[in-house]
């Protein structure tokens, strides 16, 4: 089957539609016992004439991936793990149309650091933020809607729509495919009338608090693996149920239960953690011990990057890696933002940072 698989991956003009890059032949019309009739080196490529007289030319590194790869062809940017003091990760909104590499730099910062601040963003209305995010990819619709613009009024039955403190968590744990990117832009934080109060200054609730918290979930996973390997294995292997069922007519849960830590091969793929949205865990197992250790790591001071959101600065982060939370606050905060799928973000990163040939090598092998 190795020869059949190699022949199947021919990317010549006869085998790939040059307009769509889709395979343009029926794999199963190929003789399963096909063999090379002749092979010769041509530069850094191998030219094969097959027993059916078809000719293929393969870059040698492509053949290495076919023979020895694990199915992962994507060129990945290295992850910079961080704690309470991450390295610089900001860009200026003002350079969007001035710097042709702006999107490449933005997506690479998210790839490597897990988040980026876009400073100098207009905040007279939410529209510039929406337009910024749509440059990265289509805004993802959920039961909360698409682009969000809200104040803490419990318009949706979720603690995010209150002024309560939120422990570090990832969003949309209850989707089979959680949101890839998430964005927040604080448009305003103003005093609010006290409940039952009048219009005098003494009856106004001050605008204070609401400090944001980010935690690098990939670093937390590495620490858990090093300090308590058994607990890391438990959170990696034991799937639990997650749900969103606070809103009328909504009862979302993944089609299959999912673990807290998702690893494929040796690659850490995703963190899924929101204890408030977790379903019932079967009795009499070690999950609670492992989750307690995990929770302790997330709450360590040297793991939490704390800062104050400010009008004009958009925060965009990888929701598969970075957990976010906040302290309680008073007053009324208006925040806008959106979700973007991981597939759309990864596509934008690829097409912004690599040539068409390099992109096709990543996605087609």
Residue closest to 323 by CA, chosen among 227, 219, 202 = 219
CATH fold of 90-352: Double-stranded beta-helix (3.60.130)
Architecture of the structural domain at 2-69: 2-Layer Sandwich (3.30)
Q: How confident is the model at residue 156, as a pLDDT? A: 56
Question: Model pTM?
Answer: 0.86
- Domains 2-69 and 90-352 belong to one CATH topology: no
Q: What is the pLDDT of residues 121-175, one digit of tens each?
A: 999 999 999 999 999 999 999 988 999 998 877 655 566 678 889 999 999 999 9
What mean pLDDT value characterizes the chain? 89
Overall average pLDDT of the 162-190 stretch? 95
The 3-class SS string of 232-265 reads HHHHHHCCECECECCCCCCCECCCCCECCEEEEC
Q: Is the pLDDT of residue 265 over 90?
A: no
pLDDT tens by residue, 10-59:
888 898 888 888 888 899 999 999 999 999 988 888 999 999 999 999 88
Beta strands in the chain (DSSP E): 36-42, 45-50, 55-59, 90-92, 115-119, 148-150, 166-169, 181-190, 192-193, 204-205, 208-209, 212-216, 261-264, 267-271, 304-307, 314-318, 322-326, 329-330, 332-340
Q: What is the pLDDT of residue 365?
A: 59
List pLDDT tens digits, range 72-115: 545 556 689 999 999 889 999 999 989 999 999 999 999 999 99
Q: What is the pLDDT of residues 331-360, one digit of tens each?
A: 999 999 999 999 999 999 999 999 887 887
For the chain, domain boundaries: 2-69, 90-352
What is the pLDDT, as a whole number, of residue 296? 98
Residue 202 banded pLDDT, cuts 50, 70, 90: low
Residue with tokens 């982060």: 317
Residue 279: per-residue pLDDT: 85
């Amino acid at each position: 089957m190795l020869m059949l698989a190699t022949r199947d991956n021919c990317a010549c003009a006869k085998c790939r539609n040059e307009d769509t890059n889709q395979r343009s032949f029926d794999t199963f019309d190929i003789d399963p016992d096909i063999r090379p009739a002749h092979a010769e080196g041509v530069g850094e490529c191998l030219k094969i004439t097959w027993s059916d007289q078809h000719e293929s030319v393969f870059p040698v590194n492509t053949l290495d991936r076919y023979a020895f790869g694990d199915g992962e062809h994507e060129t990945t940017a290295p992850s910079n793990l961080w704690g309470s003091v991450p390295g610089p990760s900001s860009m200026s909104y003002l350079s969007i149309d001035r710097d042709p590499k702006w999107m490449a730099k933005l997506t690479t910062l998210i790839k490597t650091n897990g988040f980026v601040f876009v400073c100098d963003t207009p905040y007279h209305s939410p529209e510039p933020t929406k337009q910024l995010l749509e440059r990265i990819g289509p805004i993802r619709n959920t039961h909360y809607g698409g682009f969000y613009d809200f104040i803490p009024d419990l318009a949706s039955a979720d603690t995010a729509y209150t002024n309560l403190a939120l422990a570090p968590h990832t969003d949309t744990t209850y989707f089979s495919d959680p949101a890839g990117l998430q964005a927040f832009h604080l448009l305003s934080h103003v005093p609010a009338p006290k409940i039952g109060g009048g219009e005098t200054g003494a009856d106004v609730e001050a605008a204070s608090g609401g400090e944001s918290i980010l935690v690098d979930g990939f670093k937390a996973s590495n620490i858990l693996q090093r300090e308590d390997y058994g607990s890391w294995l438990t959170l990696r292997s034991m799937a639990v149920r997650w749900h969103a069922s606070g809103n009328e007519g909504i009862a979302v849960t993944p089609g299959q239960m999912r673990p807290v830590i998702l690893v494929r091969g040796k690659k850490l793929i995703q963190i899924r953690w929101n204890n408030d949205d977790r379903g019932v865990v079967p009795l009499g197992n070690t999950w609670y011990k492992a989750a307690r250790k995990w929770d302790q790591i997330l709450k360590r001071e040297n793991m939490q990057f704390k800062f104050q959101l400010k009008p004009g600065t958009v925060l965009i982060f990888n929701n598969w890696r970075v957990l976010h939370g906040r302290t309680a606050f008073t007053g009324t905060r208006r925040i806008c933002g959106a979700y973007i799928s991981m597939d759309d973000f990864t596509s934008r990163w690829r097409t912004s940072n690599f040539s068409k040939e390099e992109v096709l090598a990543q996605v087609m092998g």
